Structure 1
Amino acid sequence: MAVSIVLTNQKGGVGKTTTSGAIAAGLSERGKKVLSVDLDPQGNLGFSLGMDIEDGHTMYEVLKKEIRVRDAVRSTEEYGDVLTSNILLSEAEMILKGENRQMILKQVLEDVKDDYDYIIIDTPPSLNILTVSGYAAADYLIIPMAAEILSLVGLVQLKETIEAVQNSVNPDLHVLGILLTRFSRRTNLAKDVQEMAETVASQIGTELFGSRIRTGVSAAEAPAHGKSVFDYSPRSNPSKDYREFIEEVLNKIENEA
């Protein structure tokens, strides 16, 4: 049965989708069967993994229960399978109805959970029903956070949302850690943010990943080419850092099991 990992941060521009894509690519490279689930109406995860997000079935149809999840899964040669999204998913507040609406994603993924080793869920940069649905469907949660002061804003609200999910629909959700992105070891700001992030992590009941994703243009350019950072620029700092991060994720999950 697949291990489900959700990536979240209500602030945009922190490398959440880049990190989701890197995890999917890195795990696929290791021979793991991976399903990437794009819950962001912007559709950036599917796009960054080389998919045409306007072609084929999407998460919108799956969540509306118009089609089965297996019929919406699309395959890539290098990065495993993908459930893509597009702007139609912005209607989620209207299509996800009922008392247990936050559980619909978990329910639809049950049909394919035995087909994969890992399911990677990318969420929107906001705390809405799609984000909460991602939390409800996951075993582990990772918080990418840019090494900037403004990235700390909103983590308190995120903490409250995580606790609310743990106390209701998903008591087994475990926060695997906070990942610092856009990190420059040479600046005092990065060091200050790291110290403050460590405090926030302890409040959430987790810790910072030892890995830090250094600033590099390759991480920003790779999605435009539909490639992972590993294929686009294998020798770049972000590529090296993401490989180290994936190793750390796997070790943490193994220790938790």
Structure 2
Amino acid sequence: MSTIFVVANQKGGIGKSTTATNLAGILGRKAKTLLIDADPQCNSTSTYDAKIEDVATLYDVIIDSDKLPIAEAIQHTENGDIVASDPLLVKAEKMLDGDLEGFYRLKDALDELDGYEYIVIDTAPSLNIILYNCLIAADKVIIPVTADSYAMQGISQLYDTIMSVKKRQNRNLSIAGLLLVRYSGRSNLEKETRDNIEKTAKKMDTKLFKTVIRECIKTKEAQEAKKLLIDYAPKCNTCLDYIDFTAELLKKSRK
């Protein structure tokens, strides 16, 4: 049975795709791992150098009325296995409106999938029906945040959404923790914000991961080269931090 991680934050440009691709890439070195790109911007799809045109995508799995088996939408790339996103996912709200089963399309699809120990899902920065699909299918939510004055903007709404799904549709859902990304720790503002994020995490009955993710230029270079950071620059600070984060996440998950 797979452990399913969702990477979510309704604030855009927060590093969700970077976190999802690095986590999936590192987990993929340990066990069979699938990345699912549920963001119509298709950033994770691009990093994995996966196709969108003339292939089955997540759209065909959860939006199309034919309900294609998810196994038929998996692409085996040099970076790992992925179900690609599709810009057409922006039509989800309209196309699934009034469909009582519309919130469970991804869960139903993953219930029929075997062979993966870990599944990582990248999400869009919005509280929409696709995010509900992801949360209903998931075990744990990872929330990336930055140490700036807008870091916690919208987090309370995301928290309320997660708790609502946990209460009504997925009792096994939990927040694995908040992950501090793009962190230098050099300014007093960053340190003060980190303390505030830690307090917020406690109020959400979760934690701020001990591991923080530093930023380096190699991350963008790897994305441009369509390579995983663990292959492109395995000794850069960002990659080493994601390796430590993955170990911390798995240790916490086993407990």
TM-score (norm 1): 0.94
Aligned AA (1:101): G
Distance 1:96 1:219 in 2: 36
Write out aligned runs for 1:1-257 (5 A): 1-30=1-30, 32-63=31-62, 64-66=64-66, 67-79=68-80, 81-97=81-97, 98-112=99-113, 114-255=114-255
How far residue 194 of structure 1 moved from its aligned partner, in angstroms, is: 0.7
8 Å Cα contact 1:74-1:82 kept in structure 2: yes
How far residue 33 of structure 1 moved from its aligned partner, in angstroms, is: 0.7
How far residue 100 of structure 1 moved from its aligned partner, in angstroms, is: 3.2
Distance 1:95 1:75 in 2: 29
What are the ranges of 5 or more consecutive residues in structure 1 without an aligned counterpart?
none
Moved more, 94-103 or 4-13: 94-103
How far residue 234 of structure 1 moved from its aligned partner, in angstroms, is: 1.5
How far residue 25 of structure 1 moved from its aligned partner, in angstroms, is: 0.4
8 Å Cα contact 2:79-2:227 kept in structure 1: no
How far residue 107 of structure 1 moved from its aligned partner, in angstroms, is: 0.5
Identical columns (%): 38
Moved more, 188-197 or 60-69: 60-69
8 Å Cα contact 2:25-2:228 kept in structure 1: yes
Aligned AA (1:207): K
8 Å Cα contact 1:47-1:53 kept in structure 2: no
Moved more, 137-146 or 95-104: 95-104
Distance 1:239 1:159 in 2: 28
Aligned AA (1:69): I
Distance 1:10 1:125 in 2: 4
Q: Secondary structure at the match of 1:29?
A: coil
What are the ranges of 5 or more consecutive residues in structure 2 without an aligned counterpart?
none
- Cα shift readout 1:120-165 (whole Å, capped 9, x = no counterpart): 1111011111111111100011001112121211111111111111
How far residue 65 of structure 1 moved from its aligned partner, in angstroms, is: 4.2
- Cα shift readout 1:11-61 (whole Å, capped 9, x = no counterpart): 11111110000011001112x111111110111111111213335111111
Distance 1:96 1:151 in 2: 32
4+ runs deviating over 4 angstroms: none
Distance 1:37 1:96 in 2: 20
**What count of residue pairs does the alignment treat as equivalent?**
252
Distance 2:54 2:224 in 1: 17
Q: Secondary structure at the match of 1:115?
A: coil
- Cα shift readout 1:51-91 (whole Å, capped 9, x = no counterpart): 13335111111112432211111112342x11001211111
